[in-house]
């Protein structure tokens, strides 16, 4: 069984989609061992507790230096021996040591079709504002492995959604979440849990 550690910072709707996916069989061979937040007020922690999943906060504010925080974060993750780390709305810039230690074992969800609207500064509503400003007719979401760059790791799954006349960033964000993010996040985890994802020369391949 794939042991998953989920890192969050906010509402945790993607976490909820994973919990639901495990419960309803969309995700097999996997279980969430821990949910870790940098933000003590993250509703995602409550979602974890409601589902009897250990919920832990490791806040940078509790440490004098970034290095101490990084060390504590890595130690906390290691305690649960995860096979896969899932970034589900995690706003923390991960230390290189963690990324290297868990190479090809950390995944992230980005609310656009990478390589569009990604990289530095493209997070939250900014992504959808940029998509609307450019006038794209399709946007969507991407699940990818995490490497040391910002949104540069191997792409696992993508799903497109239409941009419609009258969309605001908020309306578009909601559509991307409901129609793309909450679907491909559990699907990607299921593929990994069942040994269907391989990375070769920086490209992820799915063996269906």
Q: How far is the CB of 197 from ligand GRF (least distance, A)?
A: 19
User: In this chain, which of 3, 13, 155, 167 binds ligand GRF, going by CB under 6 A?
Assistant: 13
User: In this chain, which of 5, 21, 82, 89 binds ligand GRF, going by CB under 6 A?
Assistant: 89
CA distance 127 to 134: 11
Q: How far is the CB of 107 from ligand GRF (least distance, A)?
A: 11
For residue 58, state whether it binds ligand GRF (rule: CB under 6 A): no
Residue 81 burial by Cβ neighbours in a 10 Å radius (0-12, 13-18, 19+): exposed
Number of residues that bind ligand GRF (CB under 6 A): 14
Check if the beta carbon of residue 145 is closer than 8 Å to that of residue 199.
yes
User: What are φ and ψ of residue 144, in 5° steps?
Assistant: -140, 155
Ramachandran class of 52: left when φ > 0, alpha when ψ lies in -120 to 50, beta otherwise: left
Instruction: Measure CA 25 to chain center.
Output: 20
Q: How far is the CB of 154 from ligand GRF (least distance, A)?
A: 17
For residue 152, state whether it binds ligand GRF (rule: CB under 6 A): no
Check if the beta carbon of residue 3 is closer than 8 Å to that of residue 31.
yes
CB-wise, 9 or 190, nearer to ligand GRF? Answer: 9
User: In this chain, which of 2, 14, 98, 197 binds ligand GRF, going by CB under 6 A?
Assistant: 14
For residue 88, state whether it binds ligand GRF (rule: CB under 6 A): yes
Question: Could you confirm whether 128 is annotated as catalytic?
Answer: no
Q: What does the DSSP 8-state code read for residue 123?
A: -
For residue 12, state whether it binds ligand GRF (rule: CB under 6 A): yes
Q: Which stretch binds ligand GRF (CB under 6 A): 50-58, 105-113, 128-136, 154-162?
A: 105-113
Identify the active-site residue in 81, 110, 128, 144. Answer: 110
Residue 163 burial by Cβ neighbours in a 10 Å radius (0-12, 13-18, 19+): buried
For residue 22, state whether it binds ligand GRF (rule: CB under 6 A): no
Measured over the CA atoms of residue 128, residue 197, residue 103 and residue 84, the dihedral's sign is positive
Residues that bind ligand GRF (CB under 6 A): 8, 10-14, 44, 88-89, 109-111, 177, 181
Which residues are known catalytic residues? 110
């Amino acid at each position: 069984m794939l042991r998953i550690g989920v890192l969050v910072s906010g509402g945790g709707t993607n976490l909820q989609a994973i919990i639901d996916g495990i419960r309803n069989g969309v995700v097999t061979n996997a279980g969430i061992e821990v949910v870790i937040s940098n933000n003590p007020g993250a509703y995602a922690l409550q979602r974890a507790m409601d589902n009897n999943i250990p919920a832990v906060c490791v806040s940078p504010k509790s440490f004098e230096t970034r290095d101490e925080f990084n060390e504590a974060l890595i130690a906390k993750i290691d305690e649960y021996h995860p096979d896969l780390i899932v970034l589900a709305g995690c706003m923390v810039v991960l230390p290189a040591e963690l990324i290297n230690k868990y190479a090809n074992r950390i995944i992230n969800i980005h609310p656009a079709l990478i390589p569009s609207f990604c990289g530095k500064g493209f997070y939250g509503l900014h992504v959808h504002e940029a998509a609307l400003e450019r006038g794209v007719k399709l946007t969507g979401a991407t699940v990818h492995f995490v490497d040391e760059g910002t949104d540069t790791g191997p792409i696992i799954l993508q799903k497109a959604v239409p941009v419609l006349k009258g969309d605001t960033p908020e309306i578009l964000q909601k559509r991307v979440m409901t129609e793309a993010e909450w679907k491909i996040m559990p699907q990607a985890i299921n593929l990994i849990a069942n040994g269907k994802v391989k990375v070769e020369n920086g490209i992820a391949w799915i063996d269906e």
